[in-house]
Amino acid sequence: MSKLQFTLLQTALFWEDKQSNLQSIESKLKASAGSGQVIVLPEMFTTGFSMSPSKLSEPMDGATMQWMKRLAGELKSVITGSFIAEEKSNYYNRMVWMLPTGAFGYYDKKHLFGFAGEDKHYSSGYKRLIASVNGWRINLLVCYDLRFPVWARQQFNDANEFEYDVLVYVANWPEKRSLAWKILLQARAIENQCYVIGVNRVGLDGNEINYSGNSMVIDPLGEVLYHKEDAEDLFTITLDKQHLDEARRKFPFWKDADRFELFSDNNAESA
């Protein structure tokens, strides 16, 4: 399909209160006129950016996954965002791609934020997830991954086909470093010749860290199509594949890119 709708939820989060967050998010989504084909929630949307996984983590058949399955089915949309998952006695900052059918894929955050001690509490992921929906390919990444461009870099097959069309970052990115957030999102769009979506939270967390949102949608030429600062917001945008293809055709910078390999899981479920 030539067009794909994304709904971005920029919201405040209740600190380490899963039930309140799930109720609040569901209420906001259901109160809107309608949702896009893909709904994007912030990083750790059930808890905020907590370093207490031993008390807050859930198994993959737990309440959050059941909530995502039910809501994706009711809204007939893909829902994606990260929460604290436990698997084989390890904790992960896990971004789930939940289909309306209940099938799902997931990505475990690779770059753990040592500045806040995330690397002491969580295990790092080791492979990317590129999901598919309606002929579009979506690369799913989390917050601090944004600072490491190699992990997001487009790769090409022998037919010179782009690996993905949209790069999605979910985050709890503090207001103090919001300039880096905005600049790096634009840089990832320009260098990878793709759309970039960044969804961040707003408000204070339990550590008195303030988040200013600055959720954004950026086109493959680096133009900002959407930007919201400081306030809660629910925004739906339609991305145009024709515009993406035209930008890649008109400016074929990708032909001069360095070739390298990263391990990716390109067999995610398709919507």
Catalytic residue among 18, 69, 109, 182: 109
Predicted TM-score (pTM) of the model is: 0.95
pLDDT at 265: 53
Rounded distance between C-alpha atoms, residue 125 and residue 53, angstroms: 16
> Does 163 qualify as catalytic in the annotation?
no
CATH architecture entry for 3-265: 4-Layer Sandwich (3.60)
Q: For residue 162, which amino acid is it?
A: F
Across the chain, what does the average pLDDT equal? 95
pLDDT at 260: 74
Rounded distance between C-alpha atoms, residue 186 and residue 216, angstroms: 9
- Are the C-beta atoms of 262 and 141 separated by less than 8 Å? no
Give the DSSP H/E element, type plus range, for residue 126: none
- Average of pLDDT values for 73-77? 97
Which tens digit of pLDDT belongs to each residue from 91-138?
999 999 999 999 999 999 999 999 999 999 999 999 999 999 999 999
- Are the C-beta atoms of 193 and 248 separated by less than 8 Å? yes
Which tens digit of pLDDT belongs to each residue from 210-230?
999 999 999 999 999 999 999
Rounded distance between C-alpha atoms, residue 253 and residue 2, angstroms: 23
> Does 208 qualify as catalytic in the annotation?
no
Rounded distance between C-alpha atoms, residue 201 and residue 135, angstroms: 29
Tokens in use for 68? Answer: 């995502």
Which tens digit of pLDDT belongs to each residue from 227-244?
999 999 999 999 999 999
Catalytic residue among 16, 18, 43, 58: 43
Residue 117: how many other CB atoms lie within 10 Å: 11
pLDDT at 114: 96
> Does 161 qualify as catalytic in the annotation?
no
Tokens in use for 92? Answer: 């992960």
Q: How is the chain split into domains, by residue range? A: 3-265
Rounded to whole angstroms, the maximal C-alpha distance in the chain is: 52
Pairing status of strand 104-108 against strand 210-218:
unpaired
- Are the C-beta atoms of 192 and 230 separated by less than 8 Å? no
Catalytic residue among 18, 69, 118, 143: 143
